[in-house]
Amino acid sequence: MEQLNIEKLINGGYGLGFKDGKTYMIENAYPDEIVEIDILKNTKNIVFGKTKKVVKQSKDRVSSVCNHFPKCGGCQWINYKYDKQIEAKQNIVKEQLRRIAKIDMDIDSIEPSLLQYQYRNKMEFSVSKEEELKIGLNEKNSSIILDIENCPISPNIFDKVRNKVKGIINTLKIPVYNYQTKKGVIKHIILRKSFSQNKTMLIIVTNSENVPNENELKSELRKLPVDSIIHVMNSSDKVKLRGPYKTWKGEGVLIEEFDGFTYQIPPTSFFQTNYEITSKMLKHILDYLKPKKTDNKSLLDLYCGVGLFSVYFSPLFKDVKGVEFSKISIKAANANKNINFLKNATFYVADAIQFLNKSKNNFDYIIIDPPRAGLGKNGVELLSKKVNNSLIYISCDPSTLARDLKGLTEKGFKIKSIKSFDMFPNTFHVETIVILEK
What residues are annotated to the active site?
396
DSSP symbols for 4-65: EE--EE-TTSPEEEEETTEEEEEET--TT-EEEEEEEEE-SSEEEEEEEEEEE--TTB---S
Q: 3-class SS at 70?
A: coil
CA pair distance 109, 345, nearest whole angstrom: 33
Sequence-ordered alpha helix ranges (H) in 173-319 = 214-221, 275-289, 308-313
- Triad 435, 436, 438: Cα angle to 5°: 150
To 10 degrees, what angle do helices 398-410 and 82-101 make?
40
Q: 272-283 burial, b for 16+ CB within 10 Å, e for fewer?
A: bbbbebbbbbbe
CA pair distance 98, 92, nearest whole angstrom: 10
CA pair distance 240, 230, nearest whole angstrom: 14
To 10 degrees, what angle do helices 398-410 and 376-386 make?
50
Residues whose CB falls within 8 Å of the CB of residue 392, separated by 6 or more in sequence, listed in order: 285, 288, 365, 366, 367, 368, 433, 434, 435, 436
